[in-house]
Structure 1
Amino acid sequence: MLNEKRIDRIDDVLSKKQPDLQVMLDNVHSSQNLSAIIRSADAVGVLDIYYTSKADESLRIHKTITQGAHRWTHRYRMHDDKKAAFIKGKKAQGFQVVVTHLDERAVSFRHVDYTKPTLLVMGNEKDGVSADIVELADEVIIIPMLGMVQSLNVSVATGLILYEAQRQREDAGSYDTSVLSHEKKEEIKAEWIYRDTIVRKSKGRIMSEFNDEILDF
């Protein structure tokens, strides 16, 4: 059983989670990049991370990269041909879809209001965000580059954008009051306590690296 200090820590983290700030990865191929993004997402209070896969296979989680952050986020995998329907569903729920892409609509990532319910979509390492998803975007953003190289590693780029979102939300007081309902908070808390207890007893040896929930439509 966890001690009170650990349980208080879980309560505090849950009180700062931002369920209306979500990340979607459009066919990011590298499991190392996914793992780094999970770590950054957890650090700013993101709870839900989605990713698409043409191969319909889960990406491996690298615990040495996440440093346990994968245990405090929810990951969902969907097949590539489901992503447009997923995006439309998020828009119907009131999320603004913010996509990283270089085109004439693009503005600096700092010029978007991330205090709104936001789904941040990041593209894969080679081709970026697919054209059909860009067409569905409410905001298209870029990270200004002043050097010879005109792109950043996707995990670095995601971290920069998420910390701009964190800055805006902190200024707006979004972390001061828990957004999760009491029922949802208690549900996640019970799940986390159970998982944390198992990990501590096993020293992490029996935890699966492939525990993503599969989204179907």
Structure 2
Amino acid sequence: MTPERFAFFNHLIDHRQLDLTLVNDGIHKQQNLSAILRTCDAVGIARIHRVFDHRSARTFRGTAAGSHKWVDVVTHETSSEAILPLKEQGFQIVAAHLTESSVDFKAIDYTKPTAIVMGNEKFGVSDEALALCDHVVTIPMIGAVESLNVSVAAALILYEAMRQREHTEAFGVRQMGEEAAQKLLFEVTQPRLMRYCIEKKIDYPELDENGELRSPERWIAALRAQK
């Protein structure tokens, strides 16, 4: 681990947005799931929520391009289970769905804690989720097609959120707690050792300021003592 690479990982963590998330409300096509996850990583989202669907039960692959290492995916049984805790935490819930009351997606203030709900490719956001939303948005279109691919629509909304947040102090100021940050740093910088710790059910060792193990001899001695 070079100091430059470790600094790069710290830079990524400093830009993680804990108060911006996405709720996948039944999206099941693998290429869409992976593309959305990749975009979430690109705009600094640290965690997204997925409402369980047997067609999307597999791990994100393909175009995710390693984004799963940086974006935590939490699975829920129902839309309410995913959305209600976010509302209780003060998130505004914004659904991308075409209704008579839908507004232009750029009219929303995404600098507030925000959860963006994207719906199933065929039917859109579920009635259960819509009932819990504070805003419903749509993306203006002047062409012949009736809708955009869900991953494209998610990217447009997420990049609008990032554009708005770039004018605030949202980026560059670490929102993630130190314990969580150290855990993430260890997992992305020490993948082999991470797998060993998980297999042996032992705590991760501490990293020093250069991303190397702090007191490796002491940690090895502690491992031997456990055997």
TM over 0.5: yes
Does 2:115 align with 1:87? no
Offset of residue 110 of structure 1 = 0.3
Counterpart contact for 1:58–1:77, Cα < 8 Å: no
1:78 alignment partner in structure 2: 76
Offset of residue 191 of structure 1 = 2.4
Letter in 1 for 2:49: Y
Which structure has the greater CA radius of gyration?
A: 2
Q: Identify which of 190, 202, 210 aligns with 1:194.
A: 190
Letter in 2 for 1:180: M
Deviations 1:163-191 (A, max 9, x none): 00000000112103111222322222222
Q: What's the RMSD between the two structures over aligned residues?
A: 1.9
> Would the alpha carbon gap of residues 196 and 177 (structure 1) be closer, same or farther in structure 2, given more than 3 Å must change?
farther
Gaps of 5+ in 1: 200-217
Does 2:181 align with 1:182? no
SS in 1 for 2:183: helix
1:204 alignment partner in structure 2: none
Deviations 1:138-174 (A, max 9, x none): 1110000111112000000000000000000001121
Offset of residue 196 of structure 1 = 7.7
Aligned partners of 1:57, 1:108: CA distance in 2, in Å? 29
Q: Identify which of 115, 119, 122 aligns with 2:111.
A: 115
More contact order relative to length (CA 8 Å, sep ≥ 6): 1
> Would the alpha carbon gap of residues 160 and 57 (structure 1) be closer, same or farther in structure 2, given more than 3 Å must change?
closer
1:153 alignment partner in structure 2: 149
Q: Identify which of 119, 132, 141 aligns with 1:136.
A: 132
Aligned residues: 195
1:35 alignment partner in structure 2: 34
Letter in 2 for 1:78: H
Aligned partners of 2:179, 2:194: CA distance in 1, in Å? 23
TM-score (norm 1): 0.84
The list of structure 1 runs, each at least 4 consecutive aligned residues, that deviate by more than 3 angstroms after superposition, is 196-199
SS in 2 for 1:171: coil
Aligned partners of 1:139, 1:99: CA distance in 2, in Å? 6
1:209 alignment partner in structure 2: none
> Would the alpha carbon gap of residues 71 and 3 (structure 1) be closer, same or farther in structure 2, given more than 3 Å must change?
same
Aligned partners of 1:196, 1:173: CA distance in 2, in Å? 35
Bigger mean CA deviation after superposition, 37-46 or 179-188: 179-188
